[in-house]
Chain A
Amino acid sequence: MEIANLPISPSHRAKLLSAGYTTFSSLSAVSPSQLARDLNIALQEASDILKVVSDITRSESLHGGNAILKGAQTAWDMLSEEQMQKRITTGCDDLDTILGGGIHCKEVTEVGGVPGIGKTQLGIQLAVNVQIPVEYGGLGGKAVYIDTEGSFMVERAYQVAEGCIMDTLDKFGHHRKVILDCQEQMQPNSFLANIFYFRICSYTEQIAVINYLQKFLAEQKDVKIIIIDSVTFHFRQDFDDLALRTRVLCGMSLKLMELTKTYNLAVVLLNQVTTKFTEGSFQLTLALGDSWSHACTNRVILYWNGNERHAYIDKSPSLRSASAPFSVTSKGIRNATSQCKRVRMM
């Protein structure tokens, strides 16, 4: 029994065993106050015991000798961590709602839609919104924007940054001190300077940049979002070896998922749509869907509903299928202007 080997006083050891704590793992989720109650000892003594246990389990896992897997977390830890995660707002309340508050860090979100629906607009909006200072409820982070199609227009990014700053300051108007502190940051040019922009012109450059990001992100700790606009454009040409294409796409998606977990950031992949002939008719589907569909955590489709732009959650392990309207204005992505019922569950 592991407890028997703990370097603590014999009376404490005996109390642990009679209270039912026989292994180290049984002590991993208990708080000092609870242990103090169970053993009928002082709080400080309980803390000391737990500290000894955690020191030993840590050193044992380094030597590979413990039952607890290195790097494993309990589900409880993961849930509390996730609930503390800040989300990146999209600028539209309804869209944020169906996304569970906004774009999640540590997750890969794919956003697809027809040309002109607003994919690039959303990409630029997120690259701006991630920078909203912590004092204003944002993440205060920086963005990496990988442009594969040449859709990123500086003048538009400037407009969106300006709109975001204006609306944020409006919302927090009465907190004078906060405004003064962040004055330098809250300028459109500062926002633009915090976007690390990569323009790539071929699929090999795309792979190269994603590989480069590993080193880059280790140095730039502030980056909280990576946007790729669009992820499949360079893969839609003829590949002599389709198996190669699948391998490359899989490798790329694994690498991106690894980046989200390692650096605790969000990855947003913008994707094009194509038509697939299924069940006797042409259906809209995301490009390279078959080789790619497992690669993202969440999938959002942007589409036209009459004259209004809508988004719906196509796939997600945690979000419900729902749709929400949004609009693209001169300031960026904002709430839709229609009066009808907003978020619809499907």
Chain B
Amino acid sequence: MLDPHPTSFLSQRRLENGKDAMVPIKPESPLNLPTQKLSLGCPVLDRLVRGGLPVGSVTELAGESGTGKSQICLQLLLAALRPPSLGGLSAASLYIHSEFPFPLRRLRRLLTPFAPSSVVPTPLDHIFVRPAHSPDDLLSLLTAVDALLARPPSALPVRLLVVDSIAALFRSEFDNTPADLKRRSSLFFKIAAKLKEQARRFEAVVVVTNQVVDVVGGSESYGSSGNAIRVGNYGSLWSSGRRVCPALGLSWANCINTRIFLSRSDDIVRNERALVDEESDDRVHGTVVRTRRKMEMVFAPHLPEASCEFVIVSEGVFGVEAQRA
């Protein structure tokens, strides 16, 4: 059989005894596969994902702006530094961002409640930040990252890789022609293959954030036009009262292992006391706008359909147990 690289007959790259090496091909037993997870930093959210985000796997957080994607990523950067006994990885992280500027202030605000008694005195020393401006940028960055992962600059190994966001990288460069869509799709697979390879070789957690687009036309049936092909546990996803779906289409959906959808909806909650509306001088019943946030499992190889409400406060993102009315 035709094989362009004869040496690959004999070996593949794998992490053996903590070192990246070329080893002869042989099967592994599932009992020896890594099963570590990175906690989301909140026990309620961790219950949703059965412990945390798995190593060796690519997890996507999809949602519209302001739903908490970057916030959760920042929380993960700090969670990674904690020891495994506290749900962390005792590891440094790499944060690749395509939206500017990097939210340093928000990260600093999260540091204050960060337990000083934990292993690292200077957490920011173990968080590496790199910008990416285009898909090719990201690809060359990921190739350079191989070196970073093999020889980490700080004392801790790098075991969390965040790309925030993948969608922003593909916004401007591609038209809607079949040729461009095909080119774009090839890049998805190239990037995803690289991310998955690194996740596997370095037993790292990879998190990618994605935006959403409005769902147009079509129905949910098989092969219909429009972008409403059903992917995952929900026939439709809603945020801010609009029907949406994660960006980058079916191709990108094939590239990730787990998809988590974050949404928000602004509920008008009636208040008992009537308040005077100052501007129009009408007597209106008091109304309060409450932002409800929800996290839903769209698909995952190890998790059932489930959802959870959460809040974003200055200390971070926390899940809310379902209230009994």
Nearest-neighbor residue (CB-CB) of A209 within chain B: B25
Does the CB pair B223–A282 fall under 8 Å? yes
Q: How far is the CB of A26 from chain B (nearest CB, A)?
A: 41
Q: Contacts A150-B200, A192-B30 given: A273-B5 contact, CB under 8 Å?
A: no
Does the CB pair B9–A247 fall under 8 Å? no
Residues of B near A303 (CB, < 8 A) are: 222
B301 at the interface (CB under 8 A from A): yes
Q: How far is the CB of B218 from chain A (nearest CB, A)?
A: 9
Does the CB pair B4–A304 fall under 8 Å? no
Q: How far is the CB of A143 from chain B (nearest CB, A)?
A: 10
Which residues of B82-97 are within 8 A (CB) of A?
A: none
A116 at the interface (CB under 8 A from B): yes
Does the CB pair B223–A283 fall under 8 Å? yes
Does the CB pair A282–B186 fall under 8 Å? no
Bound-complex Cα distance A151 to B2 (A): 28
Which segment, of A1-9, A11-19, A153-161, faces chain B? A153-161
Bound-complex Cα distance A145 to B4 (A): 24
Does the CB pair B220–A304 fall under 8 Å? yes
Q: Contacts A152-B30, A211-B3 given: A114-B253 contact, CB under 8 Å?
A: yes
Q: Mark A271-294, 1 if CB is under 8 A from B, else 0.
A: 011110100011110010000000
Bound-complex Cα distance A247 to B1 (A): 9
Q: Contacts A207-B8, A281-B225 given: A154-B33 contact, CB under 8 Å?
A: yes
Does the CB pair B35–A154 fall under 8 Å? yes
A238 at the interface (CB under 8 A from B): yes
Nearest-neighbor residue (CB-CB) of A235 within chain B: B189
Q: How far is the CB of A262 from chain B (nearest CB, A)?
A: 15
> Of residues A155, A216, A281, which shows the largest number of chain B Cβ atoms within 10 Å of its Cβ?
A155
Q: Contacts A154-B33, A304-B222 given: A211-B9 contact, CB under 8 Å?
A: yes
Give the residue of B13, B190, B253 whose beta carbon is less than 8 angstroms from that of A237.
B190
Does the CB pair B225–A150 fall under 8 Å? no
Which segment, of B145-153, B159-167, B191-199, faces chain A? B191-199
Nearest-neighbor residue (CB-CB) of A283 within chain B: B223
Q: How far is the CB of A47 from chain B (nearest CB, A)?
A: 45
Bound-complex Cα distance A282 to B217 (A): 13
Residues of A near B187 (CB, < 8 A) are: 238
Q: Contacts A199-B200, A207-B8, A304-B222 given: A150-B232 contact, CB under 8 Å?
A: no
Does the CB pair B35–A207 fall under 8 Å? no
Residues of B near A121 (CB, < 8 A) are: 301
Bound-complex Cα distance A47 to B275 (A): 106
B118 at the interface (CB under 8 A from A): no
Which residues of B247-278 are within 8 A (CB) of A?
A: 250-251, 253-254, 256-257, 259
Q: Mark A35-52, 1 if CB is under 8 A from B, else 0.
A: 000000000000000000
Give the residue of A150, A200, A287, A307 whose beta carbon is less than 8 angstroms from that of B57.
A150
Q: How far is the CB of A337 from chain B (nearest CB, A)?
A: 14
Residues of A near B235 (CB, < 8 A) are: 304, 306-307
Residues of B near A189 (CB, < 8 A) are: 31
Chain B interface, number of residues (Cβ within 8 angstroms):
61
Q: Contacts A121-B301, A192-B30, A237-B190 given: A201-B196 contact, CB under 8 Å?
A: yes
B16 at the interface (CB under 8 A from A): no
Bound-complex Cα distance A115 to B5 (A): 31
Does the CB pair A150–B199 fall under 8 Å? yes
Does the CB pair B222–A255 fall under 8 Å? no
> Of residues A145, A156, A255, A304, which shows the largest number of chain B Cβ atoms within 10 Å of its Cβ?
A304
Which residues of A145-202 are within 8 A (CB) of B?
A: 145, 149-157, 189, 192-193, 195-202
Does the CB pair A234–B193 fall under 8 Å? yes
Does the CB pair A201–B12 fall under 8 Å? yes
Nearest-neighbor residue (CB-CB) of B10 within chain A: A208
Q: Contacts A233-B193, A251-B2, A304-B222 given: A115-B8 contact, CB under 8 Å?
A: no
Q: Contacts A150-B257, A251-B2, A284-B229 given: A216-B27 contact, CB under 8 Å?
A: yes
Does the CB pair B31–A193 fall under 8 Å? yes
Bound-complex Cα distance A282 to B50 (A): 37
Nearest-neighbor residue (CB-CB) of A282 within chain B: B225
B287 at the interface (CB under 8 A from A): no
Which residues of B192-232 are within 8 A (CB) of A?
A: 193, 196-197, 199-201, 220, 222-225, 229-232
Bound-complex Cα distance A287 to B254 (A): 11
Bound-complex Cα distance A307 to B8 (A): 44
Can you spell out 21 A-B residue pairs with CB atoms less than 8 angstroms apart?
Answer: A114-B250, A116-B233, A153-B54, A154-B33, A156-B302, A192-B31, A197-B27, A200-B12, A201-B193, A201-B201, A204-B3, A204-B4, A207-B1, A208-B11, A211-B3, A233-B189, A273-B250, A273-B254, A274-B251, A277-B178, A287-B254
Contacts beyond the supplied A156-B301, A209-B25, A275-B229: 7 A-B pairs with Cβ under 8 Å: A114-B231, A155-B35, A192-B30, A197-B29, A198-B25, A205-B8, A237-B186
Q: Which residue numbers of A lie inside 8 Å of B, CB to CB? A: 114-116, 120-121, 144-145, 149-157, 189, 192-193, 195-202, 204-205, 207-209, 211-212, 216, 233-234, 236-238, 244, 247-248, 251-252, 254-255, 272-275, 277, 281-284, 287, 303-304, 306-307, 330
